Every structure is written in C-alpha cells, then in structure tokens.
Amino acid sequence: ETCVIVGLGYIGLPTAVVAARAGIRVVGVDINPRIVAAVNAGACTIEEPGLPEALADLVAAGRISARSEPVAGDVFVIAVPTPFTGGYKPDLSYVAAAARSIAPVLRKGDLVIVESTIPVGATEQVARWIETARPDLACSRRGSARTPDILVAHCPERVLPGQMLKELVENDRIIGGVCAAAGRAGLAFYQSFVTGNCFVTDSRTAELCKLSENSFRDVNIAFANELAEICGDFSIDVWELISLANRHPRVNILNPGPGVGGHCIAVDPWFIVSALGDQARLIREARWINSGRPRTVVREILGKIAGRPVGSIACLGLAYKPDIGDLRESPAVEIVEYLSSELELTRPEIELLLVEPFVDRLPHELDGAHGVRKVDIDAALAADVIVMLVDHRPFYAIKPEQLAGKIVVDTRGVWRRAAQQGPGGQTVVNRE
C-alpha cells in the first residue's frame, strides 16, 4: 500500500513517520523544494522530540521519500495549513490546491483523507473539487449508499505538539466519511497504525467535532482568564482562588495566562464563529477575552513601572507554551511587540531583555523592535522588572529571593504556585 501525504509540515511529517513505521510505503509531497530536499536527505524541518531520528532512519531505509508533485497511490492524506483570512474566514486555498494537485493521479478505488482542520462542509467541497478536475471519476456524495470511484473522508488530527509521535498512534481518532464507504475505508487505513479507538461518523460531524474540541479548551481558558481579571479588581490572588475552587469534586478550572497561542486553539473557533456568529456567542466572546490578554498584560506592566526609575525589563519566555520552541501565534511575542512599541514612545531608555532557552534567535516579528535584546537567564535577573511569560522548566530554578526588590509580573503564576506549597500559602485544616 502506498500513502501519499500532501503537505510535509507539523502534521504531515510526523504522520509520514508513524505510517511508515507501520509498514506503509510513504511518499511525501510538498510545494516547498527546500522541504522536499531536506526530507530526502533525512533532515527534519520541524521541531518535535524524537522526529529527526525516526525520519532519518525511515528515509535511509527507503520507506519515506519526498517529491514536489503527487504520484499515484492508494491513500492520499491532505495535511496542509488552513489559516484564516482578514474577516476571520478560513482560507481553504491550500486545501483546494492540494485536492487539485492529486486529481490527475487518482485512480478508481483511491481514498482521499483531509486531515487539515476545516470548516463544516469543506470535505464535501473537496469531493466536488476533485470531481470537477476529474469528471471521469465519481466521488463520495453525502448520504449516498453507493460505493463511488473516489472515497473522500475527513479525519482531523488532534495531537499535542511535543508529544506527536506518541499521540498520533495512541489517541482515539474520529473518521468522517462523506459517504459510508469512505468512512469504512478510512477506518481500515487508520487501524493499520493507530492503537487508540477509531470512531466512524459522517464528514460534517467530524469537522465540527475537531472545531468543538479546540473551542472547548478556548472557552475554558477564557473562563480562567476572566477570573484573573475579576480577581485583579478585587485584589484577590487568582491562583489561590482557582486552587481552592478546584477542591470541589466537579470543578476543574484551567490556568489563566498571557493569552492563547499556537496554531489551533487561537484559530479554529473562528471557523465556527465566521460561519454562524449569532449562534456561537460564547465561543466568540471567549476568543475576544483570550485575544485581549496580551494588551491587558502590557497595561499591567506599564501601570507597575509608571513613575518608577527602570533601566531594563526582562521577559521570560517567548514560546506559545512551556518547554517547546514553537513561537506560532505566541501571546508572549505579541506582548513583547506591544511593550516595545509602547516603551519606544513613552520610556525609550528602557531596554527589553528577552530570554527564550528553546530558540536560538528572535522571531522575525521582533526584527527592528525597539530596545530588544536576547539574553540568558542570569543576565535577565539583573533587570529591574521581571515578566514571566512562559512557564518553561528552566525558569522554575529562579528562586523568589532572586526577585527581591524587583517589580514582578507573573502571568503564569509560577512563583505564586510555588509559594502556595510553602509557608504563607493556604491554611489546610485537616479534619481527620
């Protein structure tokens, strides 16, 4: 069996590895010739633990190869980005281009799976795009009981960056066929390398299922962020509040923070809101709350330094979440951008010291930003103001004593959470 994976990015490349490990012959396709050349040389182009070694072995063994144009195969997996355009509408142009690029090589009986996150109805649209390009082949039709020439299904990825190789195999999968036969074919494909349970449904349910999962997380993080803002006004410590509320057996409040980053949770809810905003009021509001967090953090920093002599501000962390070097849609980067432009206008003498142990150089968003400089943890600790933006493991080594006399803005509650475990935290009255 040959599987052609279109898009060798964050999902396509690790999927190629787990499929190849299961004995499937994998041909990866990418429009970027640099990625094609790198993969064929066994070099990994994305950051993910365990991936470089696994990829190098499988390429050397001839089980994965890459090219710029699709070739004939049995299963085609589309794993290209679906960004959003200006009006928060999903941009399906990469998915459309991928569908059209495989159309010429499709043969009767082939299965086409869209893994990219897409709005409701888009898998049916993929079937129509293929049919327009190949009028000689009948594609899956919604609700049809007949087995078409080309089977089209949606199987959203749901892996957590940092744990992809494990989660791609162990997580349960939802397989949505445009028609029933496509669902059955998709099931057989995923069962060949997934050890988690595979559930078959229709393509629309699978599409909304993926969007709902990430919206669920976004709404819950927004709840925590809203509590943080309420607590600020009442002078209550939100971390203590949440840890106490979570002592209730049916309450599990997430962590507030500087905002929600990454390429999924901050994007996918818009795919629902842009289609049906009037029905998706809670999801829309959560998005506004979370995307407003970086500005709130900058206001807090500016408020704390107002009228005080400050030479430098250290920002700890730039990644979108702990212990990885992924800066996509990172609220920490956004905070540094805002802060640097505010300081340029009002306090141009203040230097911004940026610490990010998981990347070698600053992201291009910060090219030319006023007063910024990348430093290590020790140099950062000399700053007058310390802003904790990402709770990377190396930052936990910083002791509260090292912060004495400094202005501290801790958006992740790192030092607050540590303090709660020691004296001065909550009083536990043991009734036994």
Q: Write out the residues near ligand SAJ by the rule CB under 6 A.
A: 157-161, 213-214, 217, 221, 254-255, 257, 260-262, 264-265, 320-321
Check if the beta carbon of residue 350 is closer than 8 Å to that of residue 310.
yes
Shortest CB 213 distance to ligand SAJ, Å: 4
139 is catalytic: no
- Nearest residue to ligand SAJ by CB is 264
**What are the φ/ψ torsions at residue 170 (nearest 5 degrees)?**
-90, -25
- Helix or strand holding residue 229 (H, E): helix 203-234
Assess whether 264 carries a catalytic annotation.
yes
Residue 430: which residues within 8 A CB-CB, separation 6 or more?
Answer: none
Contact (CB, 8 A) for 261 and 214 = no
Q: How far is the CB of 286 from ligand SAJ (least distance, A)?
A: 12
- Complex with ligand SAJ: residue 148 or 262, whichever CB lies closer: 262
Residue 86: Cβ-neighbour burial (10 angstroms; 0-12, 13-18, 19+):
exposed
Nearer to ligand SAJ, 187 or 238 (CB): 238
3 state SS of 347: coil
Helix (H, G, I), strand (E, B) or coil at 372: strand
Q: 189 or 320, CB closer to ligand SAJ?
A: 320
| Angle 389-165-28 from CA coordinates, rounded to 5° | 110
Residue 199 has φ and ψ, to the nearest 5°, of: -115, 135
Closest to ligand SAJ by CB, 185 vs 264, is 264
Least distance (Å) between residue 272 CB and ligand SAJ: 13
From the candidates 139, 264, 315, 321, which is the catalytic residue? Answer: 264
Minimum distance between the CB of residue 158 and ligand SAJ, rounded to whole angstroms?
A: 4
Give the nearer residue to ligand SAJ in terms of CB position, either 42 or 49: 49
Given 139, 155, 179, 210, which residue is catalytic? 210
Cβ neighbours of residue 245 closer than 8 Å, sequence gap 6 or more? 251, 253
The gap between the terminal CA atoms of the chain, to the nearest Å, is 63
Shortest distance (Å) from residue 375 CB to ligand SAJ: 23
Catalytically annotated residues? 210, 264
